Chains A and B, each alone.
Chain A
Amino acid sequence: MNGCASRRLRIRPVSPSATHRAIDAVWRIESARLIAGLTRIVRDVAVAEDLAQDALVAALEQWPQSGIPDKPGAWLAATAKRRGIDALRRRVVLERKRELIGRELEILQQLDQPELAAQVEDVQDDVLRLIFMTCHPVLSREARVALTLRLLGGLSTPEIARAFLVSEGTVAQRIVRAKRTLAEARVPFEVPGRDELTERLSAVLEVIYLVFNEGYAATAGEQWIRPALCADALRLGRILVALMPREAEVNGLLALMELQASRLRARVGPRGEPVLLADQDSARWDHLLVQRGLAGLRRAEELGGALGPYTLQAAIAACHARTRNVEETDWPRIVALYDALAALTGSPVVELNRAVAVTMAFGPEAGLELVDSLADEPALRGYHLLPGVRGDVLVRLGRMAEAREEFERAADLCNNARERELLLSRAVACGARTTPGTIP
């Protein structure tokens, strides 16, 4: 290792497909920073993204011949700006007779500043500003998710559409409308001040966790897990921790996702079917992720203050990660953590999870009482895990016929093919119906 004198990239003849794969890789690395840096200049994400896309097109045209430049990020930034300036100048010439829209002249002036090249080098803060913009509460949840994956995750519209099982047109519409909404609402390109940081940050964390959960427990379709979405969410979580290392909940969310992701492999059987925690082979857990998750949880706890919802959930996940089987798990501690989480969120879904923990800690009678107290909860109506959990508690009480009914009800409500199979097999495992024909 002899210092880091400037690297000269030797240009070797490579096949176009290899170059295209390399361009994909560069785009994945650079696109968020490029769009963020351009957004700071032009103050409009839609314009910034168009300019970035223009630069990508230029790279696709030129790099197969010229080779990949030494500093591809800087090349893309410079090209985006030059193309933006050229396009706007052409329009100025073409539309000389007509009034040019003031906004376009403004963008031209912003782009045409010599010192900008230097600024693009250090854009990490811009990435953070962009995250707060794409996760702004003025947008719907779906719009925040789509825009964040597109602008920060570097995913294409078809990729997002495939991930969420909606049409490309729907995603494209969502993104266009989201960008328009941000422009119309004049959402500033900035990290929110202390007074609103907690609230705005929780919107950001929600988007990342939504993406993760969509991958972790695919809500619809044939597959039980879509690992690529989990990977995208983990990456966004890691970026955010690097940008805001002192925020406990940011660390808490990443710890939660890493601990949950550590079990991804063990959650799926050989035929793609789900495997419940109690039946998982802990040798298949991802121990690097377990260690990272536990370390992240420690950091979140050490940052002080009352534990937030993500840190509490990470602490619960850590209880599972620290033990190798369900019997050894510290269920009373998990109940206590769920108590704190329920007090914080008031969520019936949390109450339902708490009922599972109570069943394990204090027996199925106590658990059933809690589950039944949730029976009329409007938020849980149609939620397949309510009968699913009740079935599980009834099995522990030896009330197999009732359990069977609950599993069948749960299967009816479940949208995921793999999970439905699991619920139906649990129903079958409860034995024959005692009173055939009574189940709707």
Chain B
Amino acid sequence: MRFMVLVPGSPESEAGEMPSTELLGAMTKYNEELVKSGVMLAGEGLHSTARGAKVRFNGSERTITDGPFAEAKEIVAGYWIWECASRDEAIEWLKRAPFDGGVEIELRQIFDADDFGEQLTPELREANERLREQTAQN
């Protein structure tokens, strides 16, 4: 089963500050462990929200707000995608990450197409497919 680990941002990450050499080193080592254990499928860090935007939906109206966003706590600064045999294994891996200072890291299981079950009707699948075709042509 597949998991996403969501790493929250901080005032420092929002200010575009790079983590300390010490933390970078620990994080590199941790990532190596994940790769060498065949667990990590993907993982990226995100730029500060100053480079992002928000789109608000209201009926047919779309309101665009440029970054940065105020609530640093609710900002995602990076993510991993892991393949693990169980949620317990994913938790065990996450426990080993070099975080500190009261930060809370969220672990979420990724939906498998089969998890949608009856909700993903043949028509929806077909719509999905058409969308993919258009994307491929662009």
Q: Do A and B assemble together? A: yes
Q: Which of A3-11, A43-51, A211-219, A345-353 contacts B (4 or more CB under 8 A)?
A: A3-11
> Provided the pairs A22-B92, A25-B91, A292-B41 are in contact, do residues A3 and B20 lie with their beta carbons within 8 angstroms?
yes
The distance in angstroms between the C-alpha atoms of A2 and B12, with both chains bound, is: 10
Q: A25 touching B88 by the CB < 8 A rule?
A: yes
13 cross-chain CB contacts under 8 A:
A1-B19, A4-B98, A22-B91, A25-B85, A25-B91, A29-B89, A235-B83, A242-B36, A265-B112, A282-B129, A283-B132, A284-B113, A324-B133
> Provided the pairs A3-B20, A265-B113, A288-B81 are in contact, do residues A281 and B125 lie with their beta carbons within 8 angstroms?
yes
The distance in angstroms between the C-alpha atoms of A284 and B93, with both chains bound, is: 29
Q: A1 touching B100 by the CB < 8 A rule?
A: yes
The distance in angstroms between the C-alpha atoms of A235 and B85, with both chains bound, is: 10
B61: CB under 8 A from chain A?
A: no
> Provided the pairs A4-B26, A234-B83, A235-B83 are in contact, do residues A283 and B100 lie with their beta carbons within 8 angstroms?
no
A28: CB under 8 A from chain B?
A: yes
Within 8 A of B (CB), among A109-129: 124, 127
Shortest distance in angstroms between B100's beta carbon and chain A's nearest beta carbon? 5
Shortest distance in angstroms between B84's beta carbon and chain A's nearest beta carbon? 8
Q: Convert A276-290 into 0s and 1s, putting 1 for each residue whose CB lies closer than 8 angstroms to a CB of B.
A: 000001111000100
> Provided the pairs A25-B91, A28-B85 are in contact, do residues A239 and B19 lie with their beta carbons within 8 angstroms?
no
The distance in angstroms between the C-alpha atoms of A1 and B105, with both chains bound, is: 11
Shortest distance in angstroms between B114's beta carbon and chain A's nearest beta carbon? 7
Within 8 A of B (CB), among A1-50: 1-5, 7, 9, 21-22, 24-26, 28-29
Q: A1 touching B88 by the CB < 8 A rule?
A: no
Q: Convert A287-298 into 0s and 1s, putting 1 for each residue whose CB lies closer than 8 angstroms to a CB of B.
A: 010001000000
Shortest distance in angstroms between B55's beta carbon and chain A's nearest beta carbon? 24
Residues of B within 8 A of A (CB): 10, 12-13, 19-20, 22-23, 26, 32, 35-39, 41-42, 81, 83, 85-86, 88-89, 91-93, 95, 98-101, 103, 112-114, 125, 128-129, 132-133, 136
Within 8 A of B (CB), among A317-363: 324
Q: B103 touching A21 by the CB < 8 A rule?
A: no
Secondary structure dominating the interface of A: helix
The distance in angstroms between the C-alpha atoms of A282 and B131, with both chains bound, is: 12
The distance in angstroms between the C-alpha atoms of A25 and B96, with both chains bound, is: 13
A237: CB under 8 A from chain B?
A: yes
Q: A237 touching B38 by the CB < 8 A rule?
A: yes
Partner pick for B23 among A4, A281, A292, CB 8 A cutoff: A4
Q: A residues within 8 A CB of B129?
A: 281-283, 324
A183: CB under 8 A from chain B?
A: no
> Provided the pairs A1-B101, A4-B26, A21-B86 are in contact, do residues A235 and B38 lie with their beta carbons within 8 angstroms?
yes
Q: B92 touching A25 by the CB < 8 A rule?
A: yes
Q: B residues within 8 A CB of A281?
A: 125, 129
Partner pick for A4 among B85, B100, B128, CB 8 A cutoff: B100
The distance in angstroms between the C-alpha atoms of A7 and B92, with both chains bound, is: 14
Partner pick for B99 among A4, A236, A239, CB 8 A cutoff: A4
Shortest distance in angstroms between A273's beta carbon and chain B's nearest beta carbon? 15
Q: B89 touching A236 by the CB < 8 A rule?
A: no
Q: B92 touching A5 by the CB < 8 A rule?
A: no
A203: CB under 8 A from chain B?
A: no
> Provided the pairs A1-B103, A283-B128 are in contact, do residues A238 and B35 lie with their beta carbons within 8 angstroms?
yes
Q: A284 touching B125 by the CB < 8 A rule?
A: yes
Partner pick for B38 among A4, A22, A234, A265, CB 8 A cutoff: A234
Partner pick for A124 among B36, B39, B112, CB 8 A cutoff: B36
| Smallest Cβ-Cβ distance to B9: which chain A residue | A1
Q: B86 touching A24 by the CB < 8 A rule?
A: yes
Q: B residues within 8 A CB of A237?
A: 38
Q: B residues within 8 A CB of A238?
A: 35, 38-39
Q: A324 touching B132 by the CB < 8 A rule?
A: yes
